[in-house]
Structure 1
Amino acid sequence: MPVFAVAIGLGLLMFFYYRRELRFHSGMARWVPALLRSIAVFMIVMCLAGPILRHVTTFRQLGRVVLMVDASASMSFTDELPQANGKAPGEATAAREVKPALPRFSRAEDALLTPGISLARRLAEKHDVELFALRGYKAERLWWQRDEGRDISGDLPLNFEFKPDATLTNLDQPLRDALGPSPNGAALVLLTDGQHNGPGSPEDLAASMGENGVPIFTVGYGAELAPPDLALLGVKAPEAVFSEDRTEGVLLINDAIAAGLPAMASITQANKVLWQQSFTTTGKGERRMEFSFPVKELAGDVKQSLRLLNVRVELTGNASARDRITDNNQRVIALHLLTRKRKVLIVDGRPRWETRYLKNHFDTDERWKVTAAFDDFKDGPSDTVQAAFPKTREDLMTYDLVVLGDIRPNALREDQQAMLIEFVEKRGGGLIVIDGRRGHLTEWAKTKVGSLIPVASRGKNELTEPTGYHLTKDGLTLEALRLGDTSSTNAALWTKLPKAMWTSAASPQSDATVLARFGGNAEKDQAALVWRRYGAGSVLWLGTDELWRWRYEVADMHHQKFWMQIASWIAAPPFLVENERVSLGMDRLRYQEGESAELRVRLRDAKGAVVEDAKPRVHVFRNGLEIATLQLDPDAAHGGVFRAMTGALPGGDYQITVSEANLPPGDVKLAFRVETGANQEWSHLTLNRPLLEGMARASGGRFLREGDLSQLPDLLRQLDRQQTRVKETILWSSWWWFGIAMVLLTIEWLLRKRWRLV
């Protein structure tokens, strides 16, 4: 206050000082200079006194609570009541009456919605609350109240208008969707049994929320001891089998029921028993049971490859009533019959480590049939190669892929070389060239086959130091080169692969694409993988024969995955059904609910030539009803092939057909099945406490049992502390305060000059 009084006094003194200089002027304007100087003096005095302006802001640390109730099928399970005082659950005691058991979802519904004890209502008194239902792959918002009741969706429902029937539990992406892109200032309350069986990682979600200051309070429902049950956990079986082979696989059974009971496992098709085996329960948990039966016993439309098999495990005889949970006793699996396996031909100058391991990979993959031959170094055509190479053009056209190693060109006759060109250009087959130290690539460049090779050799290049691999921008987007789980981990993984001790010096052709390079620069260093489209087919060149070093300490983890993915990409695309004009295929033969499918179509004209300028559409039918029409796009890797991706597919039986322009769908149909995850929900019926505790701990929240739910409002209240932030501004260090004083003095000086007071 003394400083303020001094500033006011000096300002008034300066005002009256001006009276002597303004006595010869008239009008109100004559007081403006005096007023400007007085204000400037006041501000300067205040500024020199060092006053501080304070900005006080008060905010809540927790403003939003997201309630999420699990509506998956396992939440419809009714846990057995614990015994009281050694008596059966149905007996009444003197102390209390035992209430009837309720399903897990009903108990959660009561806790959230029942008037008088409603958790949602209690939390809404202090916080902004949103109520969601977790239903498979999505979180559905049911009710909200925000801004102290000024923003509300309506009355809180007394019960949920749906049943817990979701066929899987995803405790990752739907929770992220409910929290939104900016979850700060929120808390998540999750009521669930914790049986995550969908994609994603709940642990990663919790860690991410912990970094953002978003605690997750997990409320566990269900017993921690498994109920007595005989269940079919899964079926390990091939997606497709050759029509002359046997179907072999393994049943995974949860034998958690009383020991010594008679049981039966069976596989049937249309009431026909294909395989069955009797066994006696042991009550020791998970067990495996192998099965095998001839494929020729399967019945079905010869024009369709799909066969549906019913797999079942059950108690038999008088013991059948002992299995209280029967929803997890059977599954329907899809099996595709192939009229032929995909065929690959490997020819090399010698059995190098790379081609030997490659042959082994194809030998162990039931989808491929491999033929391999190595040069015998005889003058002229090689006898061993001639014996393995297809005898006629028609025979070669039945192959899907050819792997050409470091072999001299004259090991093949000129007519065979011409057949190889036609195989790629017309058939749409794939060719993989594996370069080698003997440098035969330079000799191939002088032959007709040289037009296929996507690089020009610069001679041998013996490395003095090992060199690693880096994917280029084009390589990073190619699924066939995906060795890691994500794009970022995949790029890092390639740089850490064991290095090559030898590489071939070659320059990519102008129309070729470099997918990977040696060295540390993925855009400038020497090419390692080069791809080029050639006619209807594709050609890939590898600048080293030392990928086998990737097996160091990890065996086939990376090496086999790389080769199988590359082979499937480069080879002529497989088609499950076809006629002279249309071929239909898919990227996989078996799908789970929520997955997407890649559909493939190849068109040919009346002369059998591939059609590349068409605009075909694929019609998708589910359970007999058309649900989508998709426009197909040309496949950059294979001429005459068109592709389209579906959205997330619900479970059911599907068919696809193709039409072009305004024509109706054709007669060629491909059937496939999308399996539901219902049995996954019934496979594990215990509370997954370790997962829920881990999520709570990683996010800074807390795990509660359903009986401790009443503690939640107090726990959230402890987080919801009001914080006050004070921002201080020192006027002397504030340029705008001092600047205003200077502006006032400048205007005052200009007025004095105009009135000739200076």
Structure 2
Amino acid sequence: MFSIKLPNDGSTLLLTPQWSGLPAALQVALLVAVCLVPFVLIAWLYRYEMQLVPRAAAVFLLSMRVLVLFLLLFLVCLQPVYAHSKTKELPGRVLVAVDRSDSMDVADPQRPSVEKLRLVRALHLGGDICGDDQLDAWIREYTEKGSPQWVHDDEARDDQLRRGELESSRRGQHDRVCELADKVTRTQTARRILYDDGLRLLSTLAAKHDVELIGFHSTAWNAPADRPETLFDPTEAASADKAPAPTSNAAGFTDLRLPLVRALERSGAGQGKLLGVIVLTDGRHNAGDPPVKKALELGEREVPIFPVLLGAELPPPDTAILSVKAPPAVYKDASAGVDVRFKVSGMDKQDVVLELHRGAGKEKKLIEQRTVHHDGKDREYLESFQVRMDEAGPQTLTATVHPADLSVKETSTENNSGGAVVNVAKDQARVLLIDGEARWEFHYLQSAFQRDRTMQTQSVVFDQPRLNTRLTDEDLDKIGSPRQHLPAGPDALADYDCIVLGDVSPEQLPPADRQRLDKYVAERGGTLVVVAGKRYMPLTYPEAAADGGDADPIRKMLPIEAPRVTAPLDGFTPALTADGRETKFMDLEEEAGKNDTIWAQLPHPFWGVVGQAKPAAATLAFTLEGAVDPLDPTAQERRNALIARQNYGLGRVLYVGMDSTWRWRKGVGDLYHHRFWGQVMRWAADRPLESGNQYVRFGASQPVFRGGQDVELFVRFKDVQDAAKAGTRAEANILRRGGDGKPVAVVPLNRKPAQPSTFEARVANLPEGDYEVRLEMPAVADKLLASPTPPNVQEKTPPEPIKASFT
């Protein structure tokens, strides 16, 4: 490419010869051919025209043809482009972000004295007490000698009274400066950094660059750079551009990703170069996605980030409840396991009191009090409680922590409590345990279920070696023995919350009973747990029904396909998947690292049935067979699924591909065996949050959400065709309970790709309150108006839209 500068300012003619990518000799040959051939033809035409027209006319035509040919060759061969460029200088910009979360209003009296002096000196706060020279001297003496020298050797050497007065005066000044630093909050520090009476950060930057000022906590908003008071004055903040709405607890969290997102939005073309991002903050990131990815994006754009950390190196004296974990739902009279995690920081060795209450506020009642011996090091503690839930309905459990010595002052007491809500159902979980014979797995499962007060267990064993063959099922019930037949009647299975199906043969479970199980799961919304067996389950069940139609109901319901036996001589170790680690009933220990270790240390199974996980299934545990595909690391997990689950219609199915969980009792008794199966049964019967009818189920993932937490909603149709119809327009209307009936939020419901009958949605930034959820799906409105009662029950009132609720 060649450029020719034109007389006009900034104008250039750009020439790009044709065939510039070819060798030079070939370029010359092509140019000669392109130019020479037309000129030869024009010369031949000129000679011919000389015989027909006067010489002047022929010369004129020749000149015009040569001119046109020259222009064509110039345009085609050189491809000229006229370019005119303008240069506009844009000032550099600096983004200043100030953390306005609640923790910024905390002071840090735990600072060492030298840090307090440095703070007062840097922020120019000590002018009314002592001069900067005195502060510099104290800081230097702390650094060099460990403490100030109040009176120097050459001062009032012979006057001890005067020396005492000087020491007392300077000690008093020193102590007043430290007391002043003790009262300075992190917010006040940020103000002094920004304002002209402090470090003059804003005015210094504004003298050379454009300055943008934002505030942030769990949301972000703009503030005028010439009016930084809008960041700190609530009345001013209300009028600031894009100030946050007064949502509850929004300032209780810090999202460090927000200022980085704003910086990326403002670093595009035509906005001036963003020179850097200054973030004034005190806290760690505790809301939203991690900020690392956005920081790397800014790094790729060569935009530096300058964090200014406010606060002290030593944590403030504080006790804080970090989390209170409890099962979302249990049955009445059951014991709920409650795990309370709390932190003690900035405190000397002392006792700390942890209390668990039933209820909240003034109405709470003490359940249990514990004294924890704090060793003086900043650390987290985990305490577990067992709470008997003897009242039906939502029950609030509140944990509080505080120093045993009430004279110990904490920086803040607002984080000294936390709670969880447990939905307590009135009845016990009804479990039906079915097996072909009384094998060891059946024996220990039945024993575990019968000792659990939350379960009402009934057993069926088809093959029983009895001397008296005339005993009826009622007789067997009276003597506490398993029945020999399934409950009779087309809807008899609907009475059970969970059915555990063991090593039953196809003859013992004929097609009609398999169809009853299919209906129980798909239509009633029950949970089926299938436990593999060496004789029959699931290998002897056919892939297709006996009449050659659809797949056998058992195979249809299983989360795996193509089952196969695995029986290595040395046994195998079940390995948890990512889904397995996130599944509560797979937790044999609370801590994730320990849980993996416990699974690895369990007695190894020597036999199992694994298979390929179906597309809509989740693999929870697998066997380490075959090579790992580097392009698809999860392929091995899905190929060797040992424990898997999937939704089926309105219900769900769990597959356990081994028959030796009873061996987990070796050396530890009932600990892990009962814990695993107890958690499985609670998961299987846990449906109190769902509302709906015989066609659709929906609700929130938990009954109560904390402020700032996204609300997760789900909708599941029994028939995938109904789900496909509903997908044309699917919305959830969020209404405040007892309100005016107008939605406070309308969110779209999206189908899950792996589960086509399931929709899900997230609702963000809801203020505190009690809410109802109503579905808006015009294509299936008749299904949403259907009565939750069975179809054969006569209704006395017109049907109303089904709804769910949460808080």
> Would the TM-score normalized by the shorter structure come out above 0.5?
yes
Partner AA of 2:310 in structure 1: Y
User: Which SS does the other structure have where 1:189 is aligned?
Assistant: strand
Contact 1:307–1:335, Cα closer than 8 Å, also in 2: yes
Structure-1 residue corresponding to 2:771: 655
Within the candidate set 752, 755, 761, 1:645 is matched to 761
Secondary structure in 2 aligned to 1:195?
Answer: coil
Aligned to 2:687: 574
- Give, as a single letter, the amino acid of the residue that structure 2 aligns with 1:267: H
Deviates more, 1:127-136 or 1:19-28: 19-28
Shift of the 527–42 alpha-carbon distance from structure 1 to 2, 3 Å rule, reads closer
List per-residue Cα deviations over 1:586-627 (Å, max 9, x = no partner).
3234433333334468999xxxxx999999966532796765
**Closer, same or farther: CA 274–515 of 1 in aligned 2, 3 Å:** closer
Which secondary structure state, in structure 2, belongs to the residue aligned with residue 322 of structure 1?
Answer: coil
Looking at structure 2, the residues matched to 42 and 417 of structure 1 have their Cα atoms a distance apart, in angstroms, of: 84
**Matches of 2:346 and 2:709 in 1, distance apart?**
31
Q: Where does residue 412 of structure 2 map in the other structure? A: 325
User: Quick check: 2:464–2:484 contact (8 Å CA) kept in 1?
Assistant: no
- Alpha-carbon distance in structure 1 between the residues aligned to 2:297 and 2:515: 58
Deviates more, 1:258-267 or 1:329-338: 258-267
Q: Secondary structure at the match of 2:256?
A: coil
Give ranges in structure 1 of 5+ residues lacking alignment.
5-13, 48-52, 145-154, 470-474, 484-496, 552-558, 605-609, 674-758
| RMSD between superposed Cα atoms in Å | 6.9
State whether residues 654 and 672 of structure 1, in contact with CA within 8 Å, keep that contact through their aligned partners in structure 2. Answer: yes
Partner of 1:313: 401
Deviations 1:633-682 (A, max 9, x none): 79999x9x986634114452323265867999979986644xxxxxxxxx
* Inter-CA distance 661–351: structure 2 relative to 1 (3 Å threshold): closer
Segment drifting more, 115-124 vs 63-72:
115-124
Q: Is the 8 A contact 2:106 2:185 kept in 1?
A: yes
Q: Give the partner amino acid of 1:628.
A: V
| Structure 1 residue 133 corresponds to structure 2 residue 215 | yes
Match of 2:369 in 1: 277
Q: State the shift of 1:561 in Å.
A: 14
State the SS of the aligned residue for 1:200.
Answer: coil
Residue aligning to 2:102:
73
Does 1:219 pair with 2:308? yes
2:716/2:759 contact within 8 Å kept: no
Match of 1:250 among 336, 340, 361: 340
2:189 aligned with 1:92:
no
SS in 2 for 1:592: coil
Letter in 1 for 2:688: F
Contact 2:320 2:343 in 1 (8 A): yes
Q: Residue 169 of structure 1 corresponds to which residue in structure 2?
A: 254
The answer as to 2:494 corresponding to 1:409 is: no
* Identity rate, percent: 25
The alignment's TM-score, normalised by the length of structure 1, stands at 0.56
Tell me if 1:620 matches 2:620.
no
Q: Is 1:586 the counterpart of 2:716 in the alignment?
A: no
Indicate the residue corresponding to 2:556 in structure 1: 454
Report if the CA contact (8 A) 1:575-1:584 is conserved. no
Equivalent residue for 1:179, pick from 258, 264, 270: 264
Taking a change above 3 Å as real, the CA distance of residues 568 and 513 of structure 1, as seen in their structure-2 partners, is: farther
1:192 counterpart = 2:281:
yes
CA distance in 1, matches of 2:129, 2:613: 86
Which amino acid is 1:592 matched to? R
Q: Is the 8 A contact 1:584 1:602 kept in 2?
A: yes
Gap regions ≥5 residues in structure 2: 6-38, 121-125, 136-172, 238-248, 587-599, 665-672, 776-783, 787-796
Distance 1:29 1:563, change over 3 A: farther
CA distance in 1, matches of 2:84, 2:74: 23
Contact 1:405 1:436 in 2 (8 A): yes
Query: Match for 2:494 among 397, 420, 426?
Result: 397
* In structure 1, C-alpha distance between the alignment counterparts of 2:396 and 2:710, rounded to whole Å: 20
Distance change in 2, residues 1:177/1:408 (3 Å)? farther
User: 1:593, 1:648 within 8 Å by CA — same for their partners in 2?
Assistant: no
SS at 2:520's partner residue?
helix
Secondary structure at the counterpart of residue 454 of structure 1: helix
Distance, in Å, in 1 between the alignment partners of 2:770 and 2:506 is: 48
Matches within 5 A, 1:105-124: 105-112=187-194, 114=196, 118-124=200-206
Query: Would the aligned equivalents of 1:250 and 1:289 in 2 still touch at CA under 8 Å?
Result: yes
- When structure 1 is superposed on structure 2, of 195-204 and 230-239 the one drifting more is 230-239
How far, CA to CA, are the matches of 1:220 and 1:601 in structure 2?
Answer: 45
Structure 2: how far apart are the matches of 1:367 and 1:183?
A: 60
Query: What is the DSSP-based 3-state SS (H/G/I as helix, E as strand, rest coil) of the residue aligned with 1:575?
Result: coil
Residue 71 of structure 1 aligns with an amino acid whose one-letter code is R
Please show how residues 710-725 of structure 1 align to structure 2 within 5 Å: none
Match of 2:290 in 1: 201
Identify if the C-alpha distance between structure 1 residues 568 and 262 changes in structure 2 by more than 3 Å, giving closer, same or farther.
Answer: closer
Deviation (angstroms), 1:244 = 0.8
Q: CA deviation at 1:224?
A: 0.8
CA distance in 2, matches of 1:61, 1:540: 63
| Residue 429 (structure 1) aligned with residue 520 (structure 2) | no
How many residues in Structure 1 have an aligned counterpart in Structure 2? 594
Any residues of structure 2 matched to 1:481-560 within 5 Å, and which? Answer: 536-537=650-651
Cα distance between partner residues in 2 of 1:531 and 1:64: 54
What's the TM-score, normalizing by structure 2?
Answer: 0.53
Conservation of the 8 A alpha-carbon contact between 2:402 and 2:416: yes
Q: Deviations over 1:530-583 (max 9, x none)?
A: 9998765456789x66999xx9xxxxxxx99999999999x6871248799998
SS of the residue aligned with 1:313?
strand
Distance 1:573 1:585 in 2: 13
Gap change, CA 1:340 and 1:198, over 3 Å in 2 = farther
CA distance in 2, matches of 1:129, 1:434: 66
1:339 has 2:426 as partner: yes
Query: 1:246 deviation in Å?
Result: 4.0
Any conservation in 1 of the 2:557–2:648 contact (CA below 8 Å)?
no
The CA distance in 1 between the partners of 2:483 and 2:90, in whole Å, is 78
- Residues 437 and 464 in structure 2, CA contact (< 8 A), matched pair in contact too: no
Letter in 1 for 2:129: A
| Aligned-pair CA distance for 1:225 | 0.7
8 Å CA contact 2:95, 2:211 repeated in 1: yes
C-alpha distance in 1 between matches for 2:563 and 2:317: 68
State the one-letter code of the partner of 2:342.
L
**Are the counterparts in 1 of residues 700 and 711 from structure 2 also a CA contact under 8 Å?**
yes
Q: Letter of the 1:170 partner, please give it.
A: D
In 2, Cα distance between equivalents of 1:463 and 1:102: 67
The SS at the match of 1:652 is: coil
CA contact (8 A) 1:437 1:504 kept: no
Change (3 A) 1:216 1:622: farther
CA distance in 2, matches of 1:458, 1:219: 57
Partner letter of residue 223 of structure 1? A
Give 1:454's aligned amino acid: K
The residue type paired with residue 647 of structure 1 is V
- Worse-matched range after superposition: 359-368 or 107-116: 359-368
**Structure 1 position 232, deviation (Å):** 3.6
Secondary structure (helix, strand or coil) at the match of 1:130 reads strand
Residues 205/531 of structure 1: CA separation in 2 closer, same or farther (3 Å cut): same
Q: 1:463 to 1:199 in 2, by over 3 A?
A: same
Counterpart Cα distance in 1 of 2:618 and 2:374: 55
**2: CA distance, partners of 1:63 / 1:586:** 48
